[in-house]
Amino acid sequence: MPTKREQFVQTIRAQWLGQRMRELREERGLTLKYIAAYLGVEFSTLARYERAEWPFRRDHVTALLDVYGVYEERERAQLVQLAQDAWRVNRWDDDFEGTVYDQTFVDYPWLESRSEEICTYSTMVFPGLLQTRDYAESVIRYTEGVQANQQKIDRWVRLRMERQLILDEKPPKRLAALVEESVLHRPIGGRLVLRAQLEHLARAVERPHVEIRVIPTRIGLQAGLSGSFTLFKMQRPYPEVAYVEHLGGRLFMEASRAHRYSKAYDALREVALSAPESMALIATLAEELS
């Protein structure tokens, strides 16, 4: 019978913890060999901890935080809690009352950077990785509300534009976007902003690793009834992660719940227009706005 460690699923929590512990070690200029000897484990064991192939033991994390000089109470609590929760899968909500995690833990850009392919389904606006600056500013200004100052809005717009650079990485990050046809008509930012956004999409798909497909309104009921979502397909053996925003916060899901979103995405792709048909429709609508 396999041991509990051999049965371990390489969860996102374990990945994040392994990455953070490796960063702390490297920031201090300490080698794997030195830290493995300190813990009394094999060199290969510590390497597997940092790669999340095996879960970090809670007592090891506590000991290493002392070695690395991490004494800030909240950060220590977060990392120790992650070691305890490394086995947990399926979901967590970063706004859940009483959690020790904060927005530094497994955020959306972190998942973008770690994934091999990003699959989005959008019902209201174009995905952030495909937005023009003006379109993004219109969305962010509405989301932040009338009380938001321009400096804050500019900062969020800048961050969104910087995130788009992952599409030009090597090897390239694959992006597959499914967009409801209604998004193409929604005049966010006004007529000129929408036209520029549609023209921007035509340039985006010139990259072979970017695909945009439109789900026509005539389809009626389909698998997207529950709203927009993003599916991050991670490098093997890491699991897929589904991400959903809702009025109560943000939801990340792994394992069986993420698989539901994967099946929904496949079903949506089946009813979408082909990529050439989608871009022809987008070009026609952009021309009508001229």
pTM of the full predicted structure? 0.75
Alpha helices (runs of H) in 101-190, residue ranges in sequence order: 108-114, 133-144, 150-163, 181-185
> Which residue type does 230 have?
T
pLDDT of residue 4: 47
Residue ranges of the chain with pLDDT lower than 70? Answer: 1-10, 87-107, 237
Position 43 scores a pLDDT of 87
pLDDT at 237: 66
User: Which residue reads 């000129």 in tokens?
Assistant: 192
**Interval 227-264: pLDDT, tens:** 999 999 987 767 788 999 887 777 888 777 888 999 99
The helix or strand, by DSSP H or E, that contains position 241, with its residue range, turns out to be strand 241-246
| 208-228 tens-digit pLDDT | 999 999 999 998 888 888 899
At 97 the pLDDT is 42
CA 220 to chain centre: 29
Which pLDDT belongs to residue 100? 41
Going from N- to C-terminal start, the domains of the chain cover 12-87, 108-289
Instruction: Specify whether the CB–CB gap between 135 and 128 falls below 8 A.
Output: no
Give the pairing type, strands 210-215 and 241-246. unpaired
Beta strand segments in 247-289, E: 249-253
Class of domain 108-289: alpha beta
CATH number attached to the domain at 12-87: 1.10.260.40
Can you tell me the distance from the alpha carbon of 117 to that of 71, in angstroms, rounded to the nearest whole number?
37
Q: What is the pLDDT of residue 73?
A: 87
3 state SS for 33-73: HHHHHHHCCCHHHHHHHHCCCCCCCHHHHHHHHHHCCCCCH
Report the chain's terminal Cα–Cα distance, integer Å. 67
pLDDT, residue 6, reads 46
